[in-house]
Every structure is written in structure tokens, then in C-alpha cells.
Amino acid sequence: MTAPTVRRRRLGSGLRRLREQAALTLDEAETRSGLSASKISRLESATRGARPTDVELLMSVYGVEDEDVKSFLLTLARDGGKRGWWQTYDLAPVYADLISLESDAASMNSYEPLLIPGLLQTASYARAAITAISMSATPDEINPLVEVRIARQAVLSRPRPLTFRAIIHEAALTARVPGAGVMRDQLQRLLDVAEYPHVRIQVLPMEAELHPGTTGGFTILGFGQRALDVTLLEHLDSSLYIEEEADVARYSEAYERLTAAALPFNKSMSLIASKKKEHQ
């Protein structure tokens, strides 16, 4: 799925949820806005692009007052047809979806049980991880994927950076990674990025009691209002985006429980530093 379609989909699902929160049917929205019910339906299903004026009108009808939500949805409407930098690469549609969502998100909460999160990886670690997961990929296929992974990290240094919270299981810090110094440099990268005011890293220790993260890693992308948030589940050959508000809320609750079970920030940094010393 191309990036413009992702933006239209986010806009459509956002408009639908706002209409439902306003307790309006399509026919009632038609009566109040003057837009046909069929047009509103096409906007919500992302089968057509939206004019910013139509989005503003619908948000007024739905009683939206949150300026961040207004700004976000209007940006989606204006940028729906724009191409992203990642579209110059031959990426799997679901990966292009993720990058598009990352570029529009205000926040991201990531739990990784076995890997360092992609936004925090060094190029050498990324190459090792992609090679291990892809299994049969050639160097010519892996090289652009490494480039993309590093380019994605610009969301952490843009003028309005992504607020990023990462919970990393201690197992990810002890994994054997091929290449001299690769893991040492990766652990130093975590220590460096953790100094950003908008990045918070915690380590879930080996001795932690059973927790919701035992079912696997997940990522929650935030867009300024809970009804617009998305949860991503990644698997070896596929990925799943969860968009229903109640389902995303369950993952948000799970994340907060993982946060409570993880080491505090300072102790997490100390553990990462001690793991780095083991690679000297």
C-alpha cells in the first residue's frame, strides 16, 4: 500500500471515529454538513482523496475542538497525494506503511523482546539483524534496506521530533551479533540516544515476573488522540495493524504494565553501560 493511501486511510478512519463519537449517522452528517452521505462514506473508506475544506467542515459538524487533532487531520488531507522519500525504494507494502505512519506520528511506544528497535540501530547492527531475518537475501538486496532503516531515524532529529519510548528486554542486550565491536557500538548508540529529551529507554530485566510482553513485541504509534492511534504487530512474513480503539487501548495498558516492570531509566542506563563493558 503506497504512502498516499496510508494517509488517506488514517484520515478516513479518523473522520469515521469522530463521526461515531459525535453519535451521528451518515445521513445525519449529510444533513448537517451538506456533503452527500456517499461522499462522506468514500472519505471514510479512503476510496477518494479529501479536500481540506471538506475536512474542516466535517470536523466543525462533529464538534472537534482539539487543535492538535485538527492540525493532524488537515495535514493528512493536504499531504495525501505526496510521495514520501521511502517510495524511491522497492519496499514491501507493509514496510512502506510503517514508514509513512512513523513520519506522521507524534509518538511511538515500542517493546522489543529480542532486538534493538529499528529507530535506535546502528548501520552494522541493522545489517546483521536484516541478514538474520531475511535469511536468503543477497547483499545487494540488504544494502538498500539498511539505508532505509538508518534514514527512518530522521524522525528523532527533525524540528518537531517523534517522542519515542522504548522498552528493550535484557535478552536483546546479550544477543550474539557477528562482527567485531558491532554490539559494543550498538550499546553505545543506546546510551547516546537516551540523552535526547524526547527519547526514553528502559530495560526489562531477565528476572522480571511474567508480563503481557511474553506474547511478543509490539509498537504503538500515537497521533494526538487515542481514537487515531495504531498498534503494529510484526511477524517473520507478515505484519498486522490494529486500529480499533478498544484493541489499541489494551496494548496501551500492556505497555504501561511493562513500563512498571522494567528498570527505571537510570538503572537501565547503568545496565546497558555494564553490558557494553563486556564487549571491550
pLDDT in tens, 250-262: 999 999 999 999 9
Cα 227–chain centre separation: 15
Helix (H) or strand (E) holding 169: strand 163-169
3-state secondary structure of 242: strand
Domain ranges of the chain: 3-79, 90-120+150-277
DSSP, collapsed to helix, strand or coil, labels residue 14 as helix
Q: Report d(CA 211, CA 201) in Å as an integer.
A: 18
Q: Say yes or no to pLDDT of 3 above 60.
A: no
Q: Which among 158, 217, 177, 148 has a CA at the least distance from the CA of 187?
A: 177
pLDDT tens digit string along 14-50?
899 899 989 999 999 999 999 999 999 999 888 777 8
Q: Are 203 and 168 in contact (CB under 8 A)?
A: yes
**Angstrom distance (rounded) from CA 59 to CA 40:** 12
Q: Which residue has the cell 540501530?
A: 121
DSSP labels, 193-219: HTTSTTEEEEEE-TTPPP-GGGG--EE
Domain 3-79 and domain 90-120+150-277 have a common topology: no
Please give the CATH architecture assigned to the domain spanning 3-79. Answer: Orthogonal Bundle (1.10)
Provide the pLDDT for residue 235: 85
SS3 117: coil
Q: What is the pLDDT of residue 116?
A: 98
pLDDT for 150: 97
pLDDT band at 81 (very low <50, low <70, confident <90, very high): low
Higher-confidence residue of 97 and 53: namely 53
Please name the helix (run of DSSP H) or strand (run of DSSP E) that holds residue 233, with its range, or none: strand 230-234
- CATH for 90-120+150-277 (2.40.110.10, 2.40.10.10, 3.30.870.10, 3.30.450.20): 3.30.870.10
Tens digits of residue pLDDT in 131-160: 999 988 899 999 999 999 999 999 999 999
The rounded mean pLDDT for the chain is 91
Which residue bears the cell 535526547? 196
Among candidate residues 114, 111, 190, 202, the one with its CA nearest the CA of residue 156: 190
